[in-house]
């Protein structure tokens, strides 16, 4: 029905009154039409056709009248429209403010705070990595730059896929089909490795295990509510350190890199 979508914003005002009157006029017209139909014999085809034309004309005229009335009402009350727009804008701003407050006390903020505290005790801080499906590999790439290793994300992905493919017996038992719960078939495992090399498939603990062997370096994953996970403990040397975040983005899991806290400490002391 025309006007029904605008009834609530104008509740109690001219718009609501107009909508109520128009609905009444529609009911009255339908009653009139029914009376006209009852007055014409069903076997009088000529008169029935004339009646159908008259009914169509009456309905079209009323619809046009109602459209014009709505248009005139809106044009006659620009100040009401401005007030409505201002009220909607104020409501939007209030919702944004509420969301900001919720974020300050929400899981994402609390996780960031706790991780910052854990890292600060080690004179480290989070170094943000884009959330694009490559975050784990990008975080490792960032760590490797400090070790004069120029491997790119593409190299890391290709090397991971190659290593897992050639050591499938070490990884296959840990991969299951999410639909059936069955261990991956060899074909599914081949597809999994191909996705590592050629797509933005997210990386996890299996890929970290492979990378620790490839780089012959321990990889430490710092997280909020659990002790750090160290993959590749059999290797000596300074570990690559990643930060695992459950609530960083709407999509969920995310990896960041770390850097020395010196810059932040200098800023705080100034």
| Residues annotated as part of the active site | 132, 135, 254
- Among the listed residues 260, 243, 252, 217, the one whose alpha carbon sits nearest the alpha carbon of residue 136: 243
CA distance 245 to 263: 23
Other C-beta atoms closer than 10 Å to the C-beta of 150 total 9
Location of structure tokens 């029905």: 1
User: Which element (helix H / strand E) includes 252?
Assistant: strand 252-260
The answer for residues whose C-beta is within 8 angstroms of residue 231's C-beta and 6 or more apart is 205, 208, 209, 212, 218, 219, 220, 221
DSSP string over 78-131: HHHHHHHHHHHHHHHHHHHHHHHHHHHHSHHHHHHHHHHHHHHTTTEEEE----
Q: Can you tell me the distance from the alpha carbon of 145 to that of 240, in angstroms, rounded to the nearest whole number?
A: 11
26: phi then psi, degrees, rounded to nearest 5: -65, -45
Phi, psi of 158 (to 5 degrees): -65, -40
């Amino acid at each position: 029905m025309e006007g029904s979508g605008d009834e609530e914003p104008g509740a109690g005002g001219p718009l609501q009154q107009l909508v109520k009157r128009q609905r009444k006029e529609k009911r009255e017209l339908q009653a009139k039409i029914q009376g006209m139909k009852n007055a014409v014999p069903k076997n009088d085809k000529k008169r029935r056709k004339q009646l159908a034309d008259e009914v169509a004309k009456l309905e079209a005229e009323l619809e046009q009248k109602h459209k014009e009335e709505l248009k005139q009402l809106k044009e006659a009350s620009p100040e009401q429209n401005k007030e409505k727009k201002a009220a909607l804008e104020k409501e939007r701003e209030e919702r944004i403010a509420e969301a900001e407050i919720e974020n300050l006390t929400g899981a994402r903020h609390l996780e960031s705070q706790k991780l910052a505290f854990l890292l600060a005790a080690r004179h480290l801080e989070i170094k943000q990595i884009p959330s694009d499906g490559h975050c784990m590999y990008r975080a490792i790439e960032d760590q490797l730059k400090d070790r004069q290793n120029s491997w790119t994300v593409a190299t890391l992905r290709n090397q991971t896929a190659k290593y897992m493919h050639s050591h499938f017996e070490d990884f296959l038992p840990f991969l299951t089909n999410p639909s059936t719960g069955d261990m991956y078939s060899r074909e599914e495992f081949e597809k999994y490795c191909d996705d590592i090399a050629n797509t933005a498939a997210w990386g996890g603990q299996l890929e970290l295990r492979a990378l620790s062997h490839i780089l012959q370096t321990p990889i430490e994953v710092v997280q909020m509510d659990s002790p750090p996970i160290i993959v590749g403990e059999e290797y000596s040397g300074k570990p690559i350190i990643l930060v695992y975040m459950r609530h960083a983005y709407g999509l969920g899991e995310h990896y960041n890199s770390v850097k020395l806290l010196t810059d932040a400490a200098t800023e705080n002391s100034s």
